[in-house]
Structure 1
């Protein structure tokens, strides 16, 4: 995106109404329900535990978003459950329990905070995560999420034809709103800044004609509920699990940094070393606090870059608004169910556009790098590793040793590692470089 097309810059203040409106839009598009919904299905939780689990996740994500956007990174980033960690989460909980997962997250998040506090992460980024790798990570995230969009629609209960129709209508509406939103008039601005919400609302109305909208949970849900501290019991500290999550959390940070750099490419903002280390501290602190209330590993959602492509509103106050809404929802089951009634096909229809936007954001961020054989190999190897890992059957992954098995259950994690290793192993020549690197805040 051309930074001159930015409507609202990162430090530009918004009114409370605007902050909540833009924040609500990002919250819907990022679909913070998705992470807990996936794990609820995997762990076969009952309705009561599932509702509590969703509340924990929203509280953790809301607090982490406010911390990042308000005090540390100070960018329009939405903190959500990191998909790069799902394989390890499932393996740990199935093999032990949630208390063991929480213990590992508490220790690994403090490790991340320490790296940021002593300004070590920025040094690691300069050596291991140049702009080419950061952009490739975003490409990997986009590619890994795309098949999830299609397979999730296929696996939805009900009539597959109806589900694809609803998703397709929502997808098409958002696409139309994006294109019309480029018109330089008031109508265009209205469609641009609210296109995601408009598409979701109309898509939900369409879904209601197929009987896919159930308002009853809103009426039966309570208005207020206080989340519990350590809902899974006192944390357990198991050395092997902690070691696994030290690696997993570092990979999750790489995913976040790629998101930050992608946002700067679109907004014309910058992430210098000091800001990067603050962001690392903020992310680690967000995971630590979230773990106290039973939250899951959190990262800066790449999905939000797709929203920013549509709205061009980069104000961090929009992210703060999203965080406030998420926290409010965590304390109010009725508000959570208000978003939860949005049918899954509608969400996946929006997510299709978001995946495309994430992928293209990554491609745009590496455009400045020469298309040399070496650079092409770095990007291509990461993409191959991501797709290949996603296609590996569990019969193979399950027999891999410990930490290797955890990692190969997360295609994004393997893609990130492949990008870093390829960048280090394949010698870089003068014609592979650019004069300025986005990892230096450009």
Structure 2
């Protein structure tokens, strides 16, 4: 990517105010509370446990983001609950309990750290995840998230027409701010960089006229509260769950690495083997922290790449600030609820743009590859498997044996596995390759 399209580079320092502004923007777009809110509904948690669950999620994500952006990967990445693991999380908790999930995550996160420490994961990636597969993984993520945008709006309480109106206002507001970036004047560029926050503010303002903004939780919530550690009791270690998450966490890492390479292509940065293994260690430590304080595995959020496409601000100090804000929110229910009152219809309006940005980032990653029958099949079969897995009814996946059932409840996981397998099984000829691989050749920029 042309470096002239990068407004602020990866290692460029920002002022505290700038870091907080850009960091909050990424934090809002990544919607860290979405994962725990969904699980709270699935597991029907009582109020006090639900509050602790949300706080622990923010604490884990915040610490993991600071660790990854500040000390290991050193990139503008936001750590959040891995949606690639969503189906397995639900299946393990439903089949056993949260303590069993925590035990599985503790063991497998240490496994991930060791793979990074002994520099084994980078060797695995170089052999099994070339640029075509990494780009396909990002395409798969974008495609799998798109239907969620519409189904989630349809499932919201109230009038579907009103919810789509609010989401549409937010969507087109962000689209407007994105297009302002093409203008050369200072005001337009400033509006473009803060587009996500401004679009959410407009959407929330419109939603307030339809009674969708309730400040009562903010007013009644305390300013400070200490999150509960081990809210689900002592961890339990069950070999079946550990084996499931050994596979799931590898898939989650592939998802994260695809995100890292997408960011490097946009920012003229690079991920060599040493940096990749550092990132793997940072990711594993983030998952370990998540398991200790609430049981949610974290990964580098692909949705943040959508924000970066809009702002072109790649400074890792913004991610560090986002992590700090997430930690503060974990200790302040009032501030956390201030974010949480943003209507879901507004969030999904932004998410629509984010999904498009993720999908196109994936296509940009694979556009350097020749359009051959073999390459088309690798991408096409992976997309087909992702869509197919997402359409399977719960009765079918629940009837599948063990780990197979876990995997088919996560369409992203199926898409990722299919991309790796298809790339290995379909013979590669000279015409299928590119002279310079943007993933394996870190000097291409």
Q: Sort the TM-score into its range (normalised by shorter chain).
A: over 0.9
Contact 1:181 1:187 in 2 (8 A): no
- Deviation of 1:295 (Å): 4.0
- The C-alpha deviation readout for 1:169-189, integer Å capped at 9, x for no partner, is 000100011001221220121
Equivalent-residue separation in structure 2 for 1:273 and 1:78 (angstroms): 21
Report matched runs for 1:255-404 at 5 Å.
Answer: 255-404=255-404
- Deviation of 1:289 (Å): 1.4
- Deviation of 1:47 (Å): 2.2
TM-score by length of 1: 0.99
Consecutive unaligned residues in structure 2, runs of 5 or more = none
- Deviation of 1:396 (Å): 1.3
Contact 1:222 1:333 in 2 (8 A): yes
Equivalent-residue separation in structure 1 for 2:60 and 2:39 (angstroms): 16
Tell me, what secondary structure is at the counterpart of 2:282?
A: helix
Report matched runs for 1:114-129 at 5 Å.
Answer: 114-129=114-129
Equivalent-residue separation in structure 1 for 2:289 and 2:123 (angstroms): 26
- Deviation of 1:50 (Å): 1.5
Equivalent-residue separation in structure 2 for 1:395 and 1:92 (angstroms): 16
Equivalent-residue separation in structure 2 for 1:166 and 1:416 (angstroms): 33
Equivalent-residue separation in structure 2 for 1:291 and 1:394 (angstroms): 26
Tell me, what secondary structure is at the counterpart of 1:342?
A: coil
Give the paired residue count: 442
Tell me, what secondary structure is at the counterpart of 2:228?
A: coil
Contact 1:125 1:439 in 2 (8 A): no
Match of 2:4 in 1: 4
- Deviation of 1:394 (Å): 1.4
- Deviation of 1:278 (Å): 0.2
> Which deviates the most, 195-204 or 45-54?
45-54
The runs of at least 4 aligned residues of structure 1 exceeding 3 Å deviation read: none
- The C-alpha deviation readout for 1:146-194, integer Å capped at 9, x for no partner, is 0000000000001111000000000010001100122122012111210
Contact 1:60 1:295 in 2 (8 A): no
TM-score by length of 2: 0.98
Equivalent-residue separation in structure 1 for 2:61 and 2:306 (angstroms): 18
Match of 1:197 in 2: 197
Contact 1:138 1:361 in 2 (8 A): yes
Tell me, what secondary structure is at the counterpart of 2:439?
A: helix
- Deviation of 1:435 (Å): 1.6
2:133 counterpart of 1:133: yes
Equivalent-residue separation in structure 2 for 1:259 and 1:39 (angstroms): 24
Match of 1:158 in 2: 158
Tell me, what secondary structure is at the counterpart of 1:205?
A: helix
RMSD of equivalent CA atoms: 0.8
Match of 2:109 in 1: 109
Report matched runs for 1:417-432 at 5 Å.
Answer: 417-432=417-432
Consecutive unaligned residues in structure 1, runs of 5 or more = none
Contact 1:142 1:358 in 2 (8 A): yes
Match of 1:416 in 2: 416
